[in-house]
Every structure is written in structure tokens, then in C-alpha cells.
């Protein structure tokens, strides 16, 4: 029995900041970002959007593209995210409620809903848990959604890697697109390469009073703060990324009794977590060298120089062009979407093959996922004969072309949440309507609606 991805859908915001605009404003040579890192645009949330609206819109697009699927057939809605808006109520719960605004109250009443969080690998965890469920319940279907807004501090080294978007997957038996059968290689180590901690601030620094008095309902002497922006150390995180993916790749080979193979050579395309467009090509050479140790002398004094030279070699660049570059097309024009980046790469790759009319039926795809904190998973999927039928009705490349550029001042206003009026008019999508500020037992409740 085959189980996997039957259909794919997405949602990306309709506005973006050109990377060249950001580079000039930050006195960075534009080519360093556009040519050096492969960055062209970063998608940004409008004032009426958040990770919930993106998740619901991606799921709605998925169901619209599959009108034969009834809500009662969906047994699970699993969300992978690291942009949660509530410590208790999951995005999956919000998403279910929003879908019922369209399909009718109670239509998803018997559907399970839960979020999965492990940095950028959370949606892969969600997908694999959904697959396990479908294997045990082959008549059921599940929706998996990756939704995230990658936001970094202004003028930080991560600022130009921002992005926003959501990807939705329909998981079922006899999938039209991708079937998964191999065991998954895993590598996990607890580290602080990138994280979003709760921070505290003494209340008296805000109130200006030495005594601890209730302030906006807070009785404690310290106030807990949470920022969307992470704490991270780029070089260390990059090394953790390399360590985990090579360990997981080795584990994948062991579990599947393929130690004698150079497995990556059997993959038509390689899908990796892309925190920025060229991260995959800048790290996968480590796996190639792992499989081909004779290419360099790791005991030599110039071993690092040899590695750098190989990473720029014609032989390696040919591999990048054939197996990795198709996944970079969308990434460079959307930005980092955390849990969704590996699936954005999948969508980009499949769209590329669809538009070039290349026959990829029965081809193997290699998935190399990573989440800070840190964990990597390596697994394999096989393209099915009807994969084109599961593609979104609107090409992701078309959506990217239709996105409108904003200027730098508007970007700053959005980032600082100083702008309140929307930049684009919502049409046929879910939006954030309001956040309750007055009713005591509903403070902070988020309300959404569908705009025709």
C-alpha cells in the first residue's frame, strides 16, 4: 500500500520587498545578496494577515483544487510551525474553524487538529505523523500545513533572509504525486543555534515604581516578553546544519541497507531546508565528499581550501544545476518560510519539471530536512504517474510574478507594526478581522473572516 502526498497547494502574500531595495538601504552590495546568496525578493505579510490566515488560505486552496474531497473525509489537520500565536490554542484549531466558515459549521467536527513544533522541521514531523496515521487508517485522509513568518531584527544579519508563506499537503493512500516507503534517517542534538526564548523584564523598569503593583493584569514582579525574532548565531547554526544532515544521511543509508551506494546519485532532485536560497548548494557538498573521500585529502594542511575549491568546481556545480537549482527558484523569490521551505522547494521543483515537460515519473526525490535546536531527517520519495494532477491550479511562479513590490519605508512601517491600513485589498481569502482588547474573559482572542 502506497501512502504519501496526493496534492499540493500554497499561499504566499501578495506583497514583497525587492532584495536590491533592502541591500541599497543597508549599504550592502546588491550582488552579494542576489548573486552570492540567490536572493531576489522576500514576501511580507500585509496588515490583515498572519500565520493563521496563511494556513487557512493554503488549506482552502487545497480543497478548492480537489472538489471531490469532502470535509468529512479529512480525519486530521496537522500544522507544522514555529510562529505560534498562542501557548495553548493551536493554529490547526484556528484553521479548522476558519474552514468551517466556508464549508459550514460542524463540517470538521470529527477532525483531529494539532500543531507540531521543532523549528524548521516541524512540518516534516507533521507529515510523517500523518503518513503513519493513514497507513493505519487507509480509508482516511489528512491535511498537513506548514505556515510561518520568518521575521528578523532590523539591520541584523538575518534580515535579508525573511519571508512568509504556507504550503498545504493532502496525505492519502494511492497518492497521485509522491509516495514514501523508505525508512527515515534521523540525527538529533540539543543545541542553541537558533531559538525563540521567553525573556523577562523587571516590572519597575516599565512602571517606574519600586513597589510591585498590578500592571495590565500582571501581578508578578517581572514581565515575560516574547519576540517573533529569534536569537541565533549564524556560523554555529550553519555548522549544526552540516553536522545533522550528514549524520542523518548516514543513518538513512544504514536503516535502508544502502551503505554500498552513493544514494544521492539516485535522486532526480534534492530537496533541502533553505533558510536562504543557496544554503542547500553551500552545504550539500559535505555529503558528496562524505561519499567520495578520495576527492580531497582531509589530513592535509590545506584541507579547508580543498573543500572550498570543490564546492566551486565544475563537477559540483553540474550536480547543483541538475539536482538542487530547481528547488531554489521559488525560494529566492519568496524567502525563508521556516517549516515550509523544504516543501516550497518541492513545489518549485515539480513546477519546474512541469513547465519544462520533463518526464519524472518513477523518479526518486531526496529530502534533507533540518530544524534548529537541532534535528535533521533524511528520507526518499518516489514520483507517481499522476503527479501533474495533484499540482496547484495556479503556478507558484505565476503568483510570484504577480506579487507587488513595496518601498523601504513601507517595509519598515510593517516590520515595526506602525502601519495599520492594508496595502492590498483582500479577495477570496481569510483575513484577520480583529483582536479582542476589552472583554476580560476574551482578551487577546483573534477573530477572522472570509472576504469574497
pLDDT at 298 over 80: no
Total residues found in the chain within this entry? 452
Residue 275 is predicted with a pLDDT of: 97
The span from the CA of 179 to the CA of 146, in Å, is 19
CB 443 within 8 A of CB 437: yes
The span from the CA of 406 to the CA of 14, in Å, is 10
Residue 434 is predicted with a pLDDT of: 97
The span from the CA of 345 to the CA of 269, in Å, is 10
Average pLDDT over residues 375-381: 98
Give per-residue pLDDT as tens, 229-279.
999 999 999 999 999 999 999 999 999 999 999 999 999 999 999 999 999
The span from the CA of 145 to the CA of 77, in Å, is 8
382 forms bridges with which residues in the sheet? 179, 364
Kindly state the percentage of the chain with pLDDT values over 90.
Answer: 92
CB 403 within 8 A of CB 163: no
Q: Share the mean pLDDT of the chain.
A: 96
Residue 299 is predicted with a pLDDT of: 78
Angstrom CA distances, 71 to 59, 68, 133, 422, stand at: 11, 10, 17, 32
Residue 405 is predicted with a pLDDT of: 98
pLDDT at 139 over 90: yes
Helix (H) or strand (E) holding 169: strand 163-173
- Domains in the chain (CATH in brackets) are 3-193+233-451 (3.40.47.10), 198-228 (no CATH)
Helix (H) or strand (E) holding 431: strand 429-435
Does 374 sit behind a cis peptide bond, omega within 30 degrees of 0 on the bond before it? yes
**Residue whose C-alpha cell reads 552570492 in the numeric block:** 36
pLDDT band at 11 (very low <50, low <70, confident <90, very high): very high
Give per-residue pLDDT as tens, 194-223.
999 999 899 888 888 888 988 888 889 898
The span from the CA of 94 to the CA of 85, in Å, is 10
- Greatest alpha-carbon pair distance for the chain in Å reads 72
Helix (H) or strand (E) holding 186: strand 185-188
CB 110 within 8 A of CB 72: yes
Chain centroid to Cα 261, Å, comes to: 30
Give per-residue pLDDT as tens, 123-134.
999 999 999 999
Residue 178 is predicted with a pLDDT of: 98
Residue 380 is predicted with a pLDDT of: 98
Amino acid at each position: 500500500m502506497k501512502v504519501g502526498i496526493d496534492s499540493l497547494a500554497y499561499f504566499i502574500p501578495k506583497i514583497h520587498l525587492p532584495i536590491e531595495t533592502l541591500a541599497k538601504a543597508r549599504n550592502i552590495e546588491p550582488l552579494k545578496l542576489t548573486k552570492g546568496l540567490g536572493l531576489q525578493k522576500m514576501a511580507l505579510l500585509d496588515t490583515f494577515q498572519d500565520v493563521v490566515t496563511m494556513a487557512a488560505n493554503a488549506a482552502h486552496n487545497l480543497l478548492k483544487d480537489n472538489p471531490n474531497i469532502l470535509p468529512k473525509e479529512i480525519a486530521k489537520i496537522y500544522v507544522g510551525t514555529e510562529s505560534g500565536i498562542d501557548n495553548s490554542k493551536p493554529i490547526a484549531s484556528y484553521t479548522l474553524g476558519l474552514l468551517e466558515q466556508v464549508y459550514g459549521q460542524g463540517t470538521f467536527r470529527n477532525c483531529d487538529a494539532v500543531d507540531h513544533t521543532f523549528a524548521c522541521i516541524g512540518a516534516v514531523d507533521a507529515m510523517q505523523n500523518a503518513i503513519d496515521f493513514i497507513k493505519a487508517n487507509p480509508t482516511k485522509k489528512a491535511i498537513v500545513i506548514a505556515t510561518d513568518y520568518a521575521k528578523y531584527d532590523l539591520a541584523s544579519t538575518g534580515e535579508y533572509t525573511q519571508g512568509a508563506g504556507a504550503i498545504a499537503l493532502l496525505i492519502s493512500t494511492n497518492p497521485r504525486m509522491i509516495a514514501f516507503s523508505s525508512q527515515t534517517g534521523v540525527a538529533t542534538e540539543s543545541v542553541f543555534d537558533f531559538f525563540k526564548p521567553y525573556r523577562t523584564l523587571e516590572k519597575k523598569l516599565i512602571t517606574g515604581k519600586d513597589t510591585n503593583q498590578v500592571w495590565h493584569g500582571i501581578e508578578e514582579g517581572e514581565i515575560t516578553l516574547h519576540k517573533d525574532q529569534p536569537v541565533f548565531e549564524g556560523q554555529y547554526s550553519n555548522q549544526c546544519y552540516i553536522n545533522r544532515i550528514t549524520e542523518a544521511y548516514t543513518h538513512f543509508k544504514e536503516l535502508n541497507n544502502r551503505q554500498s551506494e552513493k544514494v544521492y546519485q539516485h535522486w532526480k532532485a534534492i530537496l533541502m531546508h533553505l533558510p536562504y536560497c543557496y544554503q542547500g548548494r553551500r552545504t550539500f557538498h559535505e555529503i558528496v565528499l562524505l561519499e567520495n573521500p578520495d576527492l580531497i585529502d582531509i589530513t592535509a594542511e590545506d584541507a579547508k581550501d580543498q573543500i572550498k575549491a570543490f564546492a566551486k568546481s565544475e563537477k559540483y556545480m553540474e550536480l547543483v544545476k541538475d539536482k538542487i537549482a530547481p528547488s531554489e527558484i521559488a525560494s529566492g523569490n519568496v524567502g525563508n518560510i521556516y517549516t515550509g521551505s523544504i516543501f516550497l522547494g518541492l513545489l518549485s521543483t515539480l513546477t519546474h519539471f512541469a513547465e519544462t515537460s520533463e518526464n519524472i515519473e518513477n523518479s526518486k526525490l531526496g529530502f534533507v530536512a533540518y530544524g534548529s535546536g537541532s534535528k535533521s531527517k533524511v528520507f526518499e520519495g518516489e514520483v507517481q504517474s499522476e503527479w501533474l494532477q495533484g499540482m496547484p491550479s495556479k503556478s507558484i511562479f505565476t503568483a510570484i510574478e504577480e506579487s507587488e513590490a513595496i518601498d523601504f519605508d513601507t517595509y519598515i512601517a510593517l516590520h515595526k507594526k506602525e502601519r495599520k491600513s492594508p496595502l492590498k485589498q483582500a479577495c477570496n481569502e481569510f483575513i484577520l478581522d480583529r483582536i479582542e482588547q476589552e472583554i476580560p474573559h476574551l482578551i487577546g482572542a483573534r477573530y477572522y473572516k472570509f472576504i469574497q
